[in-house]
Each structure stands twice: as structure tokens, then as C-alpha cells.
């Protein structure tokens, strides 16, 4: 009889833990979060999104130039002209000196000027432009795209859109790590990523493709950490990779190992993983072939020749590319984000 109260207290303690979300797990049970913890994580997600967004906009200006010119104007063209053509939006820039790189940001298609780069970034942010585009549409006479008023609106919208994408990538990264780490660790990772990397210094400053690529991979991590307990996780993982590849074709290489991984899990997982890849990939290929008659569309193929000379070999290009990406003084990952070196230690 003496043991009965003890057993009752044990059952009551476990019941209270389940009902209040209390746990002795040092990482807050990230694989099976109770409702209270999920609410706290949602609040932290919202706070991170707000903080990152505000900090990214503290300089009150954009630093984009010709690299992002077509992304800057395409949402306005879609909403006002209902067209992908950019003739009237960039013609003033085309009539002025273009610098040492020449005309690399626009290409001719069907007698019109279009973006040379993949257009998924400006297409995805187009809903954010509805109000300013509607206001511009109502103006009479029309505001010239090269006027100071329009340039101010375009630059402001580009900065807000880019900073929102960058802020979302940091906040989503927090949610992704909550599946494998404590709230404090996850928050620290998100803050280090969002405030001490080129996500803040570059991706949030203009509509370069870096921002959407980072958001896509943060979303991919969020999905992969949920594969063990969510049937829909393979679909979300495929969507993250599909957006990354549509935004930067080189990222399509990463699809291959995941094909084998999901294929070994089950046919259902493989089918769900492939669905967004096939759908979005078909749309991108259709766009590229129709407007440019090339699989990569207007995207400029990289060249490593000097003065039109012979191309370097594959391994030479690979070596130059790795050196440029990792230790180049102007854009190397380990120069501007030295803490990324710890990733190599973690993988060894």
C-alpha cells in the first residue's frame, strides 16, 4: 500500500509534464515540441523577423546597381504593363555608358529587352509592389521611370523586398535548428548568421540572387529536419531545392544526392520530393526555351578566357572557382565570414 502513492505521484508528474510542456530534455525535446514550446518558438520567429528586418534597413538606402537593375523594375512591368519586357524601364540606362562589363544584365528576345538573369526573385516579390504600382498607374501624366520620384520608389521597394527575404532566411533558420538544438543554441545560430555574415552586408541591401538562395536553403534545412516525423517534409525539401535551382541553375547539382536519399527511403518520399522540382523546373525550362531558345535562358554562361583566347581546363576552372569563393580578398567566404571555417571542423 505504501507504494501506491509513489506510483500515483509518478503518473501525476508525467501527466503534468505533458500538459504544461515541462521537460528535463536539455534541448527542449526539439523532435516532439509541446504546444507551449511551439508558441514560444513562433513568437521568437516573429521577433527575429522584425529585428533582422529593422537592422537591415538602418542605413536607409540600397547599394544595388546594374546587377539588380532588371530585378528592380520587373515587378512594376508585371503589374503595370502585364509584361516581362523591360524596354521602357531600362532604355535610359541602355543609352548611357555601361562600364567595363558592357550590357550583361539585359538580353534581346522577340525584339524586346529582358532580364539576362533568372526572374524568380522579382516574380516572387511582385505582390509586395501592388500598392506602389497601383499608385504609379493612377498618376496623370505618367511618371517617367527615370524621374527622381520613380527612382526613389523603385529603390525603396527593392531595399524593403531584399531585406525581408534576408530577414526571413534568418528566422526560418532558427525554426530549422529547433528540431535538433535548444532554443538558446538555435537563437545564437540565427543571430550569428543574420548579423555577422554577408546576409546583412550584401543580400539584404539589394535584390541580388543571394538572398533567395539563402532563404531556399534555410527552408530546405527546415524540411530535412522534419523528414522523420512528417510525410510532407519531402515535398517541402523539393520545393526549397526547386526554388534554389530556378534562382541559380548551378544549385541544381544538389538535387542529385537527395534523389538517391529520398529514393532509398520510399517511393512516396521520392514522388513528393520530385513533384515541386518537376512543376517548377518545367515552368523555368519553358520560359528559357520560349524566350531565349537555350536551356539556361538569357543567363550568361561563365567564361574564363582572356581576350577571347582558349578556355582553361575543367580542373583549372574548378580550382579558380574554389579559390575565388573561399579566399578571394574581394568576395571570399572565409575572408568576410571567417566563422564559416568551423563548418569544416564539424564535418570532419
With bands split at pLDDT 50, 70 and 90, how would you rate the model's confidence at 239? very high
Q: How confident is the model at residue 308 (pLDDT cuts 50, 70, 90)?
A: very low
- Among 9-18, 210-219, 333-342, the least confident range: 9-18
Which band of pLDDT confidence, cut at 50, 70 and 90, is reported for residue 20? very low
Region 107-130: what's the mean pLDDT?
97
pLDDT at 131: 97
Range from 106-120, 166-180, 257-271, 326-340 carrying the lowest mean pLDDT: 326-340
98 pLDDT above the threshold of 60: yes
16, pLDDT greater than 70: no
Does residue 307 register a pLDDT over 70?
no
Average pLDDT on 66-80 reads: 96
- Whole-model pTM: value is 0.85
Alpha helices in the chain (DSSP H): 3-20, 35-56, 69-76, 87-94, 120-125, 130-138, 148-177, 183-195, 198, 209-224, 233-247, 255-265, 267-292, 314-327, 333-336, 342-347
Q: Check pLDDT > 60 for residue 74.
A: yes
What mean pLDDT do residues 113-128 have?
Answer: 97
d(CA 176, CA 180) in angstroms, rounded, equals 8
Q: At what angle do helices 267-292 and 255-265 cross, to 10 degrees?
A: 150
CA-CA-CA-CA dihedral for 39, 51, 157, 208, to nearest 10: -100
What pLDDT band is residue 149 in, cutting at 50, 70 and 90? very high
Instruction: Using the predicted structure, report yes or no on whether residue 245 has a pLDDT greater than 50.
Output: yes
Q: What is the mean pLDDT of the chain?
A: 86
The string of pLDDT tens digits covering residues 187-221 is 999 999 999 999 999 999 999 999 999 999 999 99
Q: Which segment of 114-118, 209-213, 343-347 scores lowest on mean pLDDT? A: 343-347
Res 305 pLDDT > 60: no
Q: What is the pLDDT of residue 27?
A: 52
Which is higher by pLDDT, 20 or 113?
Answer: 113
User: Distance between CA 146 and CA 341 in Å, rounded?
Assistant: 44
DSSP assignment, residue 106?
Answer: E
Amino acid at each position: 500500500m505504501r507504494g501506491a502513492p509513489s506510483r500515483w505521484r509518478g503518473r501525476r508528474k508525467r501527466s503534468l509534464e505533458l500538459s504544461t510542456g515541462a521537460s528535463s530534455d536539455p534541448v527542449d525535446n526539439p523532435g516532439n515540441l509541446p504546444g507551449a514550446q511551439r508558441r514560444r518558438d513562433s513568437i521568437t520567429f516573429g521577433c527575429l523577423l522584425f529585428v533582422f528586418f529593422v537592422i537591415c534597413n538602418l542605413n536607409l538606402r540600397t547599394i544595388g546597381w546594374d546587377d539588380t537593375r532588371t530585378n528592380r523594375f520587373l515587378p512594376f512591368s508585371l503589374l503595370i504593363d502585364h509584361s516581362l519586357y523591360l524596354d521602357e524601364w531600362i532604355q535610359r540606362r541602355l543609352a548611357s555608358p555601361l562600364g567595363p562589363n558592357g550590357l550583361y544584365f539585359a538580353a534581346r528576345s522577340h525584339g524586346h529587352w529582358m532580364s539576362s538573369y533568372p526572374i524568380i526573385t522579382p516574380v516572387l516579390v511582385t505582390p509586395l509592389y501592388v500598392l506602389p504600382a497601383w499608385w504609379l498607374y493612377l498618376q496623370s501624366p505618367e511618371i517617367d521611370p527615370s524621374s527622381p520620384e520613380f527612382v526613389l520608389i523603385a529603390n525603396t521597394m527593392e531595399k524593403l523586398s531584399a531585406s525581408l527575404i534576408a530577414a526571413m532566411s534568418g528566422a526560418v533558420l532558427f525554426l530549422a535548428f529547433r528540431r535538433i538544438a535548444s532554443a538558446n543554441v538555435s537563437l545564437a545560430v540565427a543571430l550569428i548568421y543574420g548579423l555577422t555574415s554577408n546576409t546583412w552586408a550584401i543580400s539584404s541591401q539589394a535584390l541580388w540572387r543571394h538572398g533567395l538562395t539563402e532563404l531556399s536553403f534555410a527552408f530546405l534545412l527546415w524540411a530535412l529536419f522534419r523528414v522523420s516525423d512528417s510525410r510532407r517534409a519531402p515535398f517541402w525539401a523539393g520545393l526549397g531545392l526547386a526554388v534554389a535551382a530556378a534562382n541559380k541553375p548551378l544549385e541544381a547539382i544538389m538535387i542529385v544526392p537527395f534523389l538517391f536519399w529520398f529514393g532509398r527511403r520510399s517511393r512516396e518520399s521520392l514522388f513528393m520530393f520530385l513533384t515541386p522540382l518537376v512543376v517548377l523546373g518545367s515552368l523555368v525550362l519553358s520560359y528559357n526555351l520560349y524566350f531565349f531558345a537555350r536551356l539556361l535562358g538569357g543567363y550568361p554562361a561563365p567564361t574564363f578566357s582572356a581576350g577571347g583566347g582558349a578556355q582553361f581546363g575543367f580542373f583549372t576552372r574548378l580550382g579558380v572557382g574554389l579559390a575565388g569563393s573561399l579566399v578571394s580578398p574581394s568576395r571570399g567566404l572565409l575572408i568576410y565570414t571567417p566563422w564559416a571555417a568551423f563548418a569544416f571542423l564539424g564535418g570532419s
